[in-house]
Amino acid sequence: MAGGYDERVVENREHYLELRKLAKDLDIDDHVTFLRSFSDDDKRSLLTAATCLLYTPDREHFGIVPVEAMFMQCPVIAVSSGGPLETVDDEITGFLCEQTADAFSSAMSKFLSNSKLKLKLGDAGKKRMLKLFSYDTYEEQLHRIVQSLT
């Protein structure tokens, strides 16, 4: 389990401790690693090795994490609300689902039953990211806006 972490944010500390306790209560703490505030190199390694990225925030703003995952050809499973509605193309670059364990596990199981799904969705994700969210795309859009004002 990996993610940003700021010790100064009470919610970060509380959620981290809650997850640690849950892993212990479920007797899986020997099988779960918690990586907090890792380097960009670590992030690239994790996204390259992962089958998919689970993005669980509900009603989250745009959120750069799914876009970073798609750039690394890592399919995204995200809650069907907020930013992922804009970034993740359901069943094309990943899966949008309800914020329930059943919905996430159902989406995850699709990767177990189809060994080529990671590659298919990962390739589509990279293409979507480059088409919609790359620096070149933003530059072109900004240029069109500026030109329309003159």
User: What is the tens place of the pLDDT at every residue in 96-134?
Assistant: 999 999 999 999 999 999 999 999 999 999 999 999 999
Asked whether 36 and 16 are in contact (CB, 8 A), the reply is yes
The model's pTM is: 0.86
Angle between helices 40-49 and 64-71 (to 10 degrees): 60
The rounded mean pLDDT for the chain is 94
- Expressed as residue numbers, the domain containing 124 is 49-149
| Residue 139 and residue 99 share a domain | yes
| Residue 56 and residue 28 share a domain | no
Q: Is the pLDDT of residue 86 over 90?
A: yes
Task: Using the Cα atoms of residue 123, residue 83, residue 59 and residue 38 in order, give the sign of their dihedral.
Answer: positive
Q: What pLDDT sits at residue 105?
A: 97
Asked whether 133 and 63 are in contact (CB, 8 A), the reply is no
Structure tokens at 56: 């669980």
Domain total in the chain:
2
| Residue 86 and residue 16 share a domain | no
Q: What pLDDT sits at residue 4?
A: 81
| Residue 59 and residue 28 share a domain | no
| Residue 14 and residue 53 share a domain | no
For residues 130 and 12, what is the distance between their CA atoms, to the nearest angstrom?
31
Most distant CA pair in the chain, distance: 64
Q: What is the pLDDT of residues 36-67, one digit of tens each?
A: 988 899 999 999 999 999 999 888 888 899 99
HEC string for 13-80:
HHHHHHHHHHHHHCCCCCCCCCEECCCHHHHHHHHHHCCCEEECCCCCCCCHHHHHHHHCCCCEEEEC
